Amino acid sequence: MVRHEKPTTKIKRALAFLMKDNLDLKASDLLQLQTLFEHPDGQLTLKKIGAPHIKHLLKTHGLRGLTLWFPRFRLQQHANLMNQIDLAICREGGPEALSVDDLKLSCHIRGLNVDGLSEEDMVDYLKQWLEVSSNLSPQTMSLLLHAPILLGYNHKNRLVESWSVE
Protein backbone atom coordinates (compact mmCIF):
# COMPACT_ATOMS: atom_id res chain seq x y z
CA MET A 1 0.00 0.00 0.00
CA VAL A 2 1.45 3.35 -1.08
CA ARG A 3 0.94 6.15 1.37
CA HIS A 4 0.45 9.56 -0.18
CA GLU A 5 1.49 12.67 1.69
CA LYS A 6 -0.49 15.88 1.77
CA PRO A 7 1.03 18.64 -0.39
CA THR A 8 1.80 20.71 2.72
CA THR A 9 3.81 17.84 4.20
CA LYS A 10 5.87 17.59 1.01
CA ILE A 11 6.49 21.34 1.05
CA LYS A 12 7.52 21.31 4.70
CA ARG A 13 9.91 18.42 4.05
CA ALA A 14 11.46 20.26 1.10
CA LEU A 15 11.92 23.45 3.13
CA ALA A 16 13.38 21.48 6.06
CA PHE A 17 15.80 19.79 3.66
CA LEU A 18 16.96 23.14 2.30
CA MET A 19 17.47 24.53 5.79
CA LYS A 20 19.15 21.48 7.33
CA ASP A 21 21.53 21.14 4.41
CA ASN A 22 23.22 24.34 5.65
CA LEU A 23 22.53 26.07 2.39
CA ASP A 24 22.61 29.81 2.58
CA LEU A 25 19.33 30.71 0.96
CA LYS A 26 19.58 33.93 -0.98
CA ALA A 27 16.83 36.32 -1.95
CA SER A 28 16.62 34.81 -5.44
CA ASP A 29 16.03 31.36 -3.90
CA LEU A 30 13.21 32.71 -1.75
CA LEU A 31 11.59 34.49 -4.66
CA GLN A 32 11.47 31.17 -6.53
CA LEU A 33 9.38 29.79 -3.65
CA GLN A 34 6.94 32.67 -3.96
CA THR A 35 4.13 30.56 -5.43
CA LEU A 36 3.96 28.51 -2.21
CA PHE A 37 3.05 31.67 -0.31
CA GLU A 38 0.76 33.20 -2.95
CA HIS A 39 -2.89 33.71 -2.12
CA PRO A 40 -5.27 31.88 -2.78
CA ASP A 41 -3.58 28.71 -4.09
CA GLY A 42 -0.33 28.67 -2.12
CA GLN A 43 0.00 26.09 0.61
CA LEU A 44 1.72 28.53 3.00
CA THR A 45 -0.66 31.46 2.85
CA LEU A 46 -1.95 32.84 6.14
CA LYS A 47 -5.40 31.38 5.44
CA LYS A 48 -4.12 27.85 4.89
CA ILE A 49 -1.53 27.36 7.62
CA GLY A 50 -2.65 25.87 10.91
CA ALA A 51 -3.00 27.46 14.33
CA PRO A 52 0.33 26.11 15.70
CA HIS A 53 2.14 27.58 12.68
CA ILE A 54 0.39 30.93 13.25
CA LYS A 55 1.42 30.82 16.91
CA HIS A 56 5.07 30.27 15.96
CA LEU A 57 4.97 33.13 13.47
CA LEU A 58 3.54 35.42 16.15
CA LYS A 59 6.33 34.36 18.49
CA THR A 60 8.99 34.80 15.80
CA HIS A 61 7.89 38.37 15.16
CA GLY A 62 7.41 39.23 18.82
CA LEU A 63 3.71 39.95 18.40
CA ARG A 64 1.84 39.69 21.66
CA GLY A 65 -1.15 41.23 23.32
CA LEU A 66 -4.53 41.25 21.65
CA THR A 67 -3.55 38.78 18.94
CA LEU A 68 -5.69 35.97 20.35
CA TRP A 69 -8.87 37.05 18.55
CA PHE A 70 -7.51 37.85 15.10
CA PRO A 71 -3.98 36.44 14.84
CA ARG A 72 -3.98 36.09 11.05
CA PHE A 73 -5.15 39.69 10.66
CA ARG A 74 -2.44 40.87 13.08
CA LEU A 75 0.23 38.97 11.13
CA GLN A 76 -1.02 40.44 7.86
CA GLN A 77 -0.88 43.94 9.38
CA HIS A 78 2.66 43.29 10.59
CA ALA A 79 3.76 42.03 7.17
CA ASN A 80 2.25 45.07 5.45
CA LEU A 81 3.95 47.41 7.93
CA MET A 82 7.34 45.71 7.48
CA ASN A 83 6.92 45.89 3.70
CA GLN A 84 6.18 49.62 3.83
CA ILE A 85 9.21 50.21 6.07
CA ASP A 86 11.35 48.20 3.64
CA LEU A 87 10.11 50.24 0.69
CA ALA A 88 10.91 53.44 2.62
CA ILE A 89 14.46 52.20 3.32
CA CYS A 90 14.89 51.55 -0.41
CA ARG A 91 13.54 55.01 -1.30
CA GLU A 92 15.86 56.70 1.19
CA GLY A 93 19.04 55.18 -0.24
CA GLY A 94 19.09 51.57 0.94
CA PRO A 95 20.86 50.00 3.91
CA GLU A 96 24.07 51.93 3.22
CA ALA A 97 22.27 55.18 4.07
CA LEU A 98 21.27 53.97 7.56
CA SER A 99 23.26 54.84 10.64
CA VAL A 100 24.91 51.92 12.44
CA ASP A 101 22.27 52.00 15.20
CA ASP A 102 19.42 52.02 12.68
CA LEU A 103 21.10 49.23 10.75
CA LYS A 104 21.41 47.12 13.90
CA LEU A 105 17.77 47.73 14.80
CA SER A 106 16.58 46.96 11.27
CA CYS A 107 18.48 43.66 11.19
CA HIS A 108 17.36 42.71 14.69
CA ILE A 109 13.70 43.32 13.86
CA ARG A 110 14.15 41.11 10.82
CA GLY A 111 15.46 38.18 12.87
CA LEU A 112 19.24 38.54 12.81
CA ASN A 113 21.43 38.51 15.89
CA VAL A 114 23.59 41.58 15.40
CA ASP A 115 25.98 40.92 18.30
CA GLY A 116 29.51 40.74 16.94
CA LEU A 117 28.50 41.30 13.32
CA SER A 118 30.33 43.75 11.14
CA GLU A 119 28.49 46.59 9.47
CA GLU A 120 29.17 44.93 6.10
CA ASP A 121 27.48 41.68 7.21
CA MET A 122 24.44 43.61 8.42
CA VAL A 123 24.21 45.54 5.15
CA ASP A 124 24.45 42.27 3.17
CA TYR A 125 21.66 40.66 5.23
CA LEU A 126 19.43 43.70 4.91
CA LYS A 127 20.06 43.88 1.15
CA GLN A 128 18.92 40.26 0.82
CA TRP A 129 15.83 41.03 2.90
CA LEU A 130 15.02 44.15 0.90
CA GLU A 131 15.37 42.27 -2.38
CA VAL A 132 12.74 39.80 -1.20
CA SER A 133 10.48 42.45 0.29
CA SER A 134 10.55 44.78 -2.70
CA ASN A 135 9.55 41.96 -5.08
CA LEU A 136 6.47 40.84 -3.17
CA SER A 137 2.88 41.59 -3.98
CA PRO A 138 0.12 41.98 -1.38
CA GLN A 139 -0.88 38.37 -2.09
CA THR A 140 2.56 37.01 -1.09
CA MET A 141 3.13 38.77 2.24
CA SER A 142 3.22 35.40 3.98
CA LEU A 143 6.69 34.92 2.48
CA LEU A 144 7.84 38.05 4.28
CA LEU A 145 6.62 36.59 7.58
CA HIS A 146 8.65 33.43 6.93
CA ALA A 147 11.75 35.31 5.71
CA PRO A 148 13.47 35.56 9.14
CA ILE A 149 13.51 31.78 9.28
CA LEU A 150 14.30 31.13 5.63
CA LEU A 151 16.99 33.82 5.27
CA GLY A 152 18.45 33.65 8.74
CA TYR A 153 18.27 29.99 9.77
CA ASN A 154 21.72 29.05 8.46
CA HIS A 155 23.26 32.45 9.14
CA LYS A 156 26.26 32.32 11.45
CA ASN A 157 24.54 34.72 13.87
CA ARG A 158 20.96 33.55 13.77
CA LEU A 159 18.86 35.09 16.48
CA VAL A 160 16.96 32.05 17.68
CA GLU A 161 18.96 29.02 18.73
CA SER A 162 17.10 27.49 21.65
CA TRP A 163 13.74 26.70 20.00
CA SER A 164 14.81 26.19 16.41
CA VAL A 165 13.99 23.07 14.45
CA GLU A 166 16.56 20.32 14.66
Tell me, yes or no, whether 30 lies in a domain: no
Domain membership of residue 19 (yes or no) is no
Mean pLDDT of 99-114: 89
Question: What's the domain range around 134?
Answer: 45-166
Report if residue 81 sits inside a domain.
Answer: yes
Decide if pLDDT at 161 tops 60.
no
pLDDT at 38: 84
Q: What's residue 34's pLDDT?
A: 84
Domain membership flag for residue 24: no
Write the DSSP assignment of the chain as a string of letters: -PPPPPHHHHHHHHHHHHHHTT----HHHHHHTGGGG-TTT-TTSTTTS-HHHHHHHHHHTT--STTSS-HHHHHHHHHHHHHHHHHHHHHTT-GGGS-HHHHHHHHHHTTB--TT--HHHHHHHHHHHHHHHHT--GGGHHHHHHHHHHHHTTSTTBS--TT---
Record the pTM: 0.78
- How many domains does the chain fold into? 1
Does 68 reside within a domain? yes
